[in-house]
Amino acid sequence: MIGTIMKTSLLHLRRDRVVQALTFLLPIAFFSIFALVFGGRGTSGSEVRVDVGVVDEDGSAVSTRLLAALEKEKGLEVSRTVKVREAQEPLDRERARALVQAGRLDIAVVAPKGFGAAFPGFFPGAPEVEILADPSNPIAAQMVVGLLQKVGMTALPDLLARRGMEAFERYAGVLTPGQRAAVDQWLQHLQAGAVAAPRGDAQPEPMGSGLVRTKVVDVIRERAPRTGIIAFYAAGVGVMFLLFMASGAGGALLEEAEAGTLERLLTSRLGMGRLLLAKWVFLTLLGFAQVTVMFVWGALVFGLDLWGHLGGFVVMTAVTAAAASGFGLVLATLCRSRQQLGGLSTIVILIMSAVGGSMFPRFLMSETMQKAGLLTFNGWALDGYLKVFWRNAPTLDLWPQVLVLSALAAGFMLAARLLARRWEAA
């Protein structure tokens, strides 16, 4: 008896490819994606790369050596100039701040006037290196602060020792000539060792923290205090559920085919083209309403600044909903049954959401995965929403996202139209 029931279950499983895929392929696909997203930092091709702008207002030997050493660190892509009207001009504090705000730099490091003279920052009141940071990328700030401490020790050991001895002499008495000669010889040795240190591989001995005094300045929140990580989650979750809604509602087409109403619709004056167009417009409006409801909730309950970004929100939501609706119709016209659609859409949408940044911010992924994210619908949509709510970008700056999502919407509709030909006259 039990064997018979098990055999029947096995026969069902063998003949249902969707269930097989959900059972075996979906876990593998998810495991692989999360392994790539979170674990892909071991090889050089997939390392996290942080774009750092460097501004040396001090111009001292200390700041020059410190920032040059920072430039040699692996994982940092340091720039000291910015392109202004076809010409490269040196970065200054304001330009660096604007570039971080616009998302074109992950972070900027500013060595202020008087920094070199007061190095190391053992004493209160010493000028601090300013880290102009985007709080959406906390890893970049922590990485740069840590690396500054590291290069402070590895690139300037002679200076550390010299300043240390000066402090010693000031508070404990002057060295004898013999002691002075020995210390000078040691300092020369330290300086030679620092210059010869290979790129990024120096292992500093633990000496405590705070050699290089730093101050992290949040350049995003200082402009828009009410928008924050909520905007990211609203957009991420919104786009993912937009896709689920569109594919689910697009599946009505399959139900209509199964029930026979599609046959009846197609024997009326309505053609397949107009039927798809009607469904696409409806899904787009429904998707717009769905995302709007969520953002209004975010504004009312979590203080999301929707009203201050209304123009960008409307533009992004319109193109995102249009493209998501097209995508839902492609899935619906591709599948042969509602069950197939359920399985396929779950797999595709969850994978796109993981890679595209709906579940985990793309800027925290390895560079390879960040690029892979741009192959997904979610990646472009989220970039647009982050531009609006995080970076306060003007609506006109959304043109790349609007262009890509509009092209995707048109492409999806064309594909859906071609796939729907199977329901037309045989």
Partner 1 sequence: MKPLRVSLAEKRFGDTTALAGVSLELEAGELLALLGPNGAGKTTLVRAIAGRVRLDAGRIELGGRLAEERGARDVLGVVPQDIALYGMLTPRENLELFGRLHGLGGTALSDAVGWALGWTGLEDRSRELVKTFSGGMKRRLNIAAGVLHRPRIVLLDEPTVGVDPQSRERIYEMLTELRREGASLLLTTHQLDEAESRCDRVVIIDHGTVVGAGTLSELVGRLFGGRRTVVLTLDRAPEMPLPGLELEPGERTARAMLGDAVDELPALLGRVRAAGFEVEDLALHRPGLGAVFLALTGRELRE
Distance, in Å, from the CA atom of 31 to the CA atom of 22, rounded to the nearest integer, reads: 13
> Nearest distance from residue 257's CB to partner 1, in Å?
10
Q: In this structure, what are the phi and psi dihedrals at residue 366, rounded to the nearest 5 degrees?
A: -65, 160
Distance, in Å, from the CA atom of 113 to the CA atom of 255, rounded to the nearest integer, reads: 71
Nearer to partner 1, 277 or 310 (CB): 277
> Nearest distance from residue 283's CB to partner 1, in Å?
17
Q: Are the C-beta atoms of 343 and 23 separated by less than 8 Å?
A: no
Distance, in Å, from the CA atom of 68 to the CA atom of 54, rounded to the nearest integer, reads: 10
Q: Are the C-beta atoms of 222 and 319 separated by less than 8 Å?
A: no
Q: In this structure, what are the phi and psi dihedrals at residue 120, rounded to the nearest 5 degrees?
A: -75, 160
Contact between 268 and partner 1 per CB under 8 A: yes
Distance, in Å, from the CA atom of 133 to the CA atom of 110, rounded to the nearest integer, reads: 11
Q: Are the C-beta atoms of 159 and 153 separated by less than 8 Å?
A: no
Nearer to partner 1, 270 or 281 (CB): 270
Interface with partner 1 by CB under 8 A: which range of 156-164, 258-266, 322-330, 363-371? 258-266
> Nearest distance from residue 334's CB to partner 1, in Å?
22
Nearer to partner 1, 190 or 266 (CB): 266
Cis (ω within 30 of 0) for the bond into 120? yes
In the set 183, 266, 314, 364, which binds partner 1 (CB under 8 A)?
266
The residues, any chain, with a CB within 8 Å of residue 215's CB and separated by 6 or more, are: 128, 129, 130, 131
Nearer to partner 1, 222 or 263 (CB): 263
Nearer to partner 1, 223 or 421 (CB): 421
Q: What is the three-state SS of 173-227?
A: CCCCHHHHHHHHHHHHHHHHHHHHCCCCCCCCCCCCCCCCCEEEEECCCCCCCCC
Nearer to partner 1, 125 or 260 (CB): 260
In the set 265, 334, 351, 419, which binds partner 1 (CB under 8 A)?
265
Q: At which residue do the structure tokens 């306060």 appear? A: 392
Interface with partner 1 by CB under 8 A: which range of 51-59, 80-88, 259-267, 400-408? 259-267
In the set 28, 172, 196, 425, which binds partner 1 (CB under 8 A)?
425
Nearer to partner 1, 50 or 275 (CB): 275
Interface with partner 1 by CB under 8 A: which range of 87-95, 234-242, 257-265, 299-307? 257-265
> Nearest distance from residue 351's CB to partner 1, in Å?
32
In the set 261, 281, 407, 414, which binds partner 1 (CB under 8 A)?
261
Interface with partner 1 by CB under 8 A: which range of 33-41, 45-53, 219-227, 260-268? 260-268
Query: Restricting to residues 270-309, which ones interact with partner 1 according to CB under 8 A?
Result: 270
Q: Are the C-beta atoms of 63 and 111 separated by less than 8 Å?
A: yes
Nearer to partner 1, 28 or 426 (CB): 426
> Nearest distance from residue 426's CB to partner 1, in Å?
5
Distance, in Å, from the CA atom of 23 to the CA atom of 115, rounded to the nearest integer, reads: 60
Distance, in Å, from the CA atom of 21 to the CA atom of 111, rounded to the nearest integer, reads: 56
Bridge-based pairing of strands 214-218 and 129-133 is parallel
Nearer to partner 1, 250 or 357 (CB): 250
How many residues form the binding site for partner 1 (CB under 8 A)? Answer: 13
Amino acid sitting at position 154: T
> Nearest distance from residue 281's CB to partner 1, in Å?
16
Bridge-based pairing of strands 81-84 and 50-56 is unpaired
> Nearest distance from residue 271's CB to partner 1, in Å?
11
Whole-angstrom CA distances from 231 to 146, 220, 303, 393, 395 are 28, 13, 10, 14, 16
**Chain center to CA of 282:** 32
Nearer to partner 1, 89 or 258 (CB): 258
Q: At which residue do the structure tokens 């504090």 appear? A: 93
Contact between 263 and partner 1 per CB under 8 A: yes
Distance, in Å, from the CA atom of 193 to the CA atom of 188, rounded to the nearest integer, reads: 9
Interface with partner 1 by CB under 8 A: which range of 66-74, 107-115, 267-275, 327-335? 267-275
Interface with partner 1 by CB under 8 A: which range of 265-273, 289-297, 357-365, 393-401? 265-273
Residues near partner 1, by CB under 8 A: 259-261, 263-270, 425-426
